Amino acid sequence: MGLATYGTRHAQALVGSLGRLARSPFATFLTVLVIGLALALPLALQMLVGNASRATGGLASAVDVSVYFKPAAPLEKVRELAADARARAGVAEVTVISADDALKEFQKYSGFGAALQALEQNPLPNVLHVRPAADAMTPADLDRLVRYFAAWPQVDTVQVDAAWVQRLNAILAVLERVLLIAAVLLGVGVLAVVGNTVRLEIHQRRAEIEVVKLVGGSNAFVRRPFLYTGVLYGLAGALIAWGVVGAALAVLEGSVETLARLYGSGFTLAGPPAEEVVGLLGGGAALGWVGAWLSATRHLRRIEPRG
Amino acid sequence: MIAFDHVVKRYPNGREALAGVSFSIAAGEMVFLTGRSGAGKSTVLKLIALIERPTRGAVRVEGKNLGALRSRHIPAYRRSIGVVFQDHRLLVDRPVFDNVALPLVVAGFPLKETDKRVRAALDQVGLLGKERTLPLELSAGEQQRVGIARAVVSKPRLLICDEPTGNLDRDLALEVMRLLKRFQSVGVTVVVATHDLRLAQQPGERTILLDDGRIQGRGEEEPLPSIVASR
């Protein structure tokens, strides 16, 4: 068979499959809707994980070291030591928070402003916030850094703020696992939906299949239109999933922006990036193809012409 | 062309449709299989079309032992023969052109060649101009002719017909027989199963009479009606 003829026969099978789906629009819509909703859930979870990672930004990888000075340590000395620390390898950023600044900030956000004014002297110490370099966050690196600061006689306490980062990373890891499990389970669901739909179609077209086999149609030839049907179901389901997630995004966008603004953040929800959309469409089509192939291969083998 | 060698066919329900049948058909011959309902005529055709396989014995077509043919080679074998059924087996939601073109589509013929051959086949059966008509818009005789056009469109060397005139009146039946005779005259081997003895007794053609899965007469030694009458 020539390439042009081969291509034309495939195009005919594709158009035939499209025609059959269009002839029963309600049944097709219901099937596509089920597939779409099944694909929308992992896509929405992926979007949630993506946005959560983006919202926490560098925080997920940031480990802060807080260096609390003794009350007697003067601010000038603290600034001097901060300059020394900045020059040290493995230190990305050092921020000096003076006791006065800390008190002002505390008064502003804690709600105890009036009570704090009653104090005779500032109870808060001068503090350094040290952010280690990205390549110096191993437990050994952090331990060296802690010992470096703790060796200064002006320093009272050195605290590594890593626990919340570990929790955040753990939460994101759990979400990613949930996403993976949901994607696998719902993917199997899509295979089952497409497979069952193709099985029913094969059953309906049994007489036609018998005739095609009688005139020499191979299983591969008979299977072809069903594979296109599966691909079309998967692709249409993926488009529905994209639409559903897009609609959910549009509904949530304003509320999330308002919430972020209240926390002083300019964070906005982002939809699935182009590569995820391509993956969704490709994945949907592939699931449809596999579901149709499994079902068609199994059921077509049993259909042979009657005499 | 076709050789049945002590062929036994027993169906899963235990019914023995053929009980050690042997005969041969030469290339280019037109042979009628006749006998009453359940005699085994259709089983012979099913074995030739590889719809069934023999329980014992050998069925050979052009030297190929069909019983030993692997499943993956069956489609190619079926593409080399033409089959006509009493109930036409047409795809009722496809126009005449698509029905006739089906064997060529399956075999991967180029579009132009398909178009040319389909028109030629429809011309042979007198249905040129009905390409876009749906089968159910045709008469029973015309539907049967579409079935015949589909069977011959790929120019098979062997044409098997199971009760091709079963639903037709006498005139239409004779017209179909004339059509089949025309294909035989250009070298096609034609095997026709029919319960109609009068139709089976075409001058110059061989008839095999089957009864209860056995050959009761070959129509060579004496006229078939006398064989039937003597039973």
Domain boundary, last residue among B121, B156, B191: B156
Asked if residue B65 has pLDDT above 70, the reply is yes
Name every chain A residue with its beta carbon within 8 A of the beta carbon of B110.
Answer: 2, 4-5
Residues of each domain in chain A carrying CATH 3.30.70.3040 = 64-161
Asked if residue B202 has pLDDT above 90, the reply is no
Residues A55 and A270: their CA atoms lie apart, in Å, by: 10
Residues B14 and A299: their CA atoms lie apart, in Å, by: 26
Question: What are A131-154's pLDDT values in tens digits?
Answer: 888 777 777 888 888 899 999 899
Nearest residue of B to residue A5 by CA position? B110
CB pairs under 8 A between A and B: 63
How would you list the strands of the sheet with B30-34, edge to edge?
B81-85, B158-162, B189-194, B30-34, B206-211, B214-217
Average pLDDT, integer, range B181-196: 89
Asked if residue A30 has pLDDT above 70, the reply is yes
Instruction: Write the residue in B52, B83, B109 that is nearest to A214 by C-beta.
Output: B83
Question: What are B36-50's pLDDT values in tens digits?
Answer: 888 889 999 999 999
Mind telling me how many Å the CA of A287 is from chain B's nearest CA? 27
Residues B135 and B149: their CA atoms lie apart, in Å, by: 13
Task: Find the domain containing B60 and state its range.
Answer: 1-80+158-231
Is there a contact between B108 and A6 if contact means CB atoms under 8 Å apart? yes
User: Any CB–CB contact under 8 A between A212 and chain B?
Assistant: yes
Closest-CA residue to A293 (of A234, A247, A253): A234
Closest-CA residue to B111 (of A1, A192, A89, A288): A1
Both B111 and B128 in one domain: the answer is yes
Tell me, what's the pLDDT at B219?
A: 60
Average pLDDT, integer, range B81-91: 88
Q: Please indicate, yes or no, if residue B85 is contained in any of the structural domains.
A: no
- What confidence tier does B138 reach under pLDDT thresholds 50, 70, 90? very high
Count helices and strands in chain A by DSSP H and E runs: 10, 4
Asked if residue B85 has pLDDT above 90, the reply is no
ipTM score assigned to the predicted complex? 0.85
Closest-CA residue to B10 (of B61, B53, B42, B59): B53
Amino acid, res. B72: R
Q: Say which CATH number the domain at B199 has.
A: 3.40.50.300
Instruction: Write the residue in A208, A213, A304 that is nearest to B91 by C-beta.
Output: A208
Asked if residue A227 has pLDDT above 90, the reply is yes
Is there a contact between B110 and A215 if contact means CB atoms under 8 Å apart? no
Supply φ then ψ for residue A220, to 5 degrees: -65, -40
Question: Percent helix, strand, coil in chain A (nearest 5)?
Answer: 70, 10, 20
Average pLDDT, integer, range B147-158: 91
Asked if residue B212 has pLDDT above 90, the reply is no
- What confidence tier does B226 reach under pLDDT thresholds 50, 70, 90? very low
Asked if residue B224 has pLDDT above 60, the reply is no
Both B5 and B76 in one domain: the answer is yes
Our CA angle for A304, A307, B2, nearest 5°, is: 100
Both B165 and B149 in one domain: the answer is no
Domain boundary, last residue among B110, B126, B156: B156
**Category of A18 on φ-ψ map: left (φ > 0), alpha (ψ -120 to 50) or beta:** alpha
**Tokens standing for residue A194:** 């497409």
Supply φ then ψ for residue A179, to 5 degrees: -60, -45
Asked if residue B137 has pLDDT above 90, the reply is yes
| The domain made up of A64-161 is a member of CATH 3.30.70.3040 | yes
- What confidence tier does B231 reach under pLDDT thresholds 50, 70, 90? very low
Question: Percent helix, strand, coil in chain B (nearest 5)?
Answer: 40, 25, 35
Nearest residue of B to residue A218 by CA position? B75
Pick from A112-126, B63-77, B186-200, B217-231: least confident: B217-231
- What confidence tier does A62 reach under pLDDT thresholds 50, 70, 90? low
Both B163 and B66 in one domain: the answer is yes
Tell me, what's the pLDDT at A1?
A: 65
Name every chain B residue with its beta carbon within 8 A of the beta carbon of A9.
Answer: 105, 108
Both B111 and B216 in one domain: the answer is no
Q: Please indicate, yes or no, if residue B53 is contained in any of the structural domains.
A: yes
Average pLDDT, integer, range A225-252: 95
User: Any CB–CB contact under 8 A between A306 and chain B?
Assistant: yes
Compute the radius of gyration of chain A from its Cα atoms. 31
Domain boundary, last residue among B125, B156, B187: B156
Q: Please indicate, yes or no, if residue B37 is contained in any of the structural domains.
A: yes
- What confidence tier does A102 reach under pLDDT thresholds 50, 70, 90? confident
Domain count, chain B: 2
Query: Across chain B, which distance is largest between two alpha carbons, in Å?
Result: 56
Question: What are A170-189's pLDDT values in tens digits?
Answer: 888 888 899 899 999 999 99
Tell me, what's the pLDDT at A58?
A: 57
Name every chain B residue with its beta carbon within 8 A of the beta carbon of A2.
Answer: 110
Interface test with B, best of A205, A209, A214 (most B CBs within 10 A): A214
Both B163 and B69 in one domain: the answer is yes
Is there a contact between A218 and B111 if contact means CB atoms under 8 Å apart? no
Nearest residue of A to residue B41 by CA position? A307
Q: Please indicate, yes or no, if residue B170 is contained in any of the structural domains.
A: yes
Average pLDDT, integer, range B24-35: 91
Average pLDDT, integer, range B202-211: 82
Question: What are A192-204's pLDDT values in tens digits?
Answer: 999 999 999 999 9
Our CA angle for A19, A24, A29, nearest 5°, is: 105
The residues near A48 (Cβ < 8 Å, ≥ 6 apart) are A175
**Chain B residues with CB-CB distance to A under 8 A?**
42-43, 45-46, 49, 51-52, 72, 75-80, 83, 89-91, 102-103, 105-111, 150, 162
- Burial degree of A278 (CB within 10 A; 0-12, 13-18, 19+): exposed
The residues near B51 (Cβ < 8 Å, ≥ 6 apart) are A214, A304, A305, A306, A307
pLDDT over 90, % of chain A: 47
Average pLDDT, integer, range B88-114: 91
Tell me, what's the pLDDT at A262?
A: 86
CB atoms near residue A264 (< 10 Å): 6
Asked if residue A81 has pLDDT above 60, the reply is yes
CB-CB contact of B166 with B178 (8 Å): no
Both B151 and B55 in one domain: the answer is no
Both B67 and B105 in one domain: the answer is no
Mind telling me how many Å the CA of A15 is from chain B's nearest CA? 14
Both B48 and B120 in one domain: the answer is no
Both B189 and B230 in one domain: the answer is yes
Tell me, what's the pLDDT at B227?
A: 44
- What confidence tier does B221 reach under pLDDT thresholds 50, 70, 90? very low
Average pLDDT, integer, range A82-110: 86
CB atoms near residue A259 (< 10 Å): 12
Both B46 and B142 in one domain: the answer is no
Tell me, what's the pLDDT at B135?
A: 94
Question: What are A239-265's pLDDT values in tens digits?
Answer: 999 999 999 999 999 998 898 888 777
Per-chain mean pLDDT for chain A: 88
Nearest residue of A to residue B114 by CA position? A5
Both B124 and B181 in one domain: the answer is no
Q: Where are the beta strands (DSSP E) in A126-230?
A: 127-132, 155-161
Question: What are B5-19's pLDDT values in tens digits?
Answer: 999 999 998 889 899
Is there a contact between B75 and A212 if contact means CB atoms under 8 Å apart? no
CB-CB contact of A194 with A288 (8 Å): yes
Is there a contact between B79 and A216 if contact means CB atoms under 8 Å apart? yes
